[in-house]
A and B are shown apart, each in its own frame.
Chain A
Amino acid sequence: EAAVTQSPRNKVAVTGGKVTLSCNQTNNHNNMYWYRQDTGHGLRLIHYSYGAGSTEKGDIPDGYKASRPSQENFSLILELATPSQTSVYFCASGDGANTGQLYFGEGSKLTVL
Chain B
Amino acid sequence: GEKVEQHESTLSVREGDSAVINCTYTDTASSYFPWYKQEAGKSLHFVIDIRSNVDRKQSQRLIVLLDKKAKRFSLHITATQPEDSAIYFCAASRSAGNKLTFGIGTRVLVRP
Chain A residues engaging chain B, CB cutoff 8 angstroms: 31, 33, 35, 40-45, 48, 56, 58-59, 90, 94-107
| Residue in contact with B34 in the complex, picked from A48, A59, A96, A100, CB distance below 8 Å | A100
23 A-B contacts (beta carbon < 8 Å): A33-B99, A42-B103, A42-B105, A43-B102, A44-B102, A45-B100, A45-B101, A56-B99, A58-B99, A90-B43, A94-B97, A96-B96, A97-B95, A99-B96, A100-B49, A100-B95, A100-B96, A100-B97, A101-B46, A101-B49, A102-B34, A102-B100, A103-B45
CB-CB under 8 A for A48 and B99, given A42-B105, A105-B43: yes
Residues of B whose CB lies within 8 Å of any CB of A are 1, 6, 32, 34, 36, 42-46, 49, 89, 93, 95-97, 99-105
Report the separation of the CA atoms of residues A59 and B1 in the bound assembly, to the nearest whole angstrom.
8
Chain A residue at smallest Cβ distance from B91: A43
Beyond A58-B99, A94-B97, is A40–B104 a contact (Cβ under 8 Å)?
yes
Contacts of A107 in B (CB 8 A): 43
Please name all residues of chain A whose beta carbon is closer than 8 Å to the beta carbon of B32 when the two chains form the complex.
100
Q: How far is the CB of A76 from chain B (nearest CB, A)?
A: 15
The chain B residue with its CB closest to the CB of A58 is: B99
> A48 to chain B: which residues have CB within 8 Å?
99
Q: For A43, list chain B residues within 8 Å (CB).
A: 44, 89, 102
CA distance A86 to B42 in the complex (A): 18
The CA of A105 and the CA of B95, in the complex, are separated in Å by 22
Quote the shortest CB–CB distance from B79 to chain A (angstroms): 25
Which chain B residues border A100 with CB–CB below 8 Å? 32, 34, 49, 93, 95-97
Inter-subunit contact B96/A42 (CB<8 Å) = no
- The CA-CA distance from A61 to B38 in the complex, in Å, is 24
CB-defined contacts of B42 to chain A, threshold 8 Å: 106
Task: Name the residue among A33, A56, A97 with the largest chain B CB count within 10 angstroms.
Answer: A97
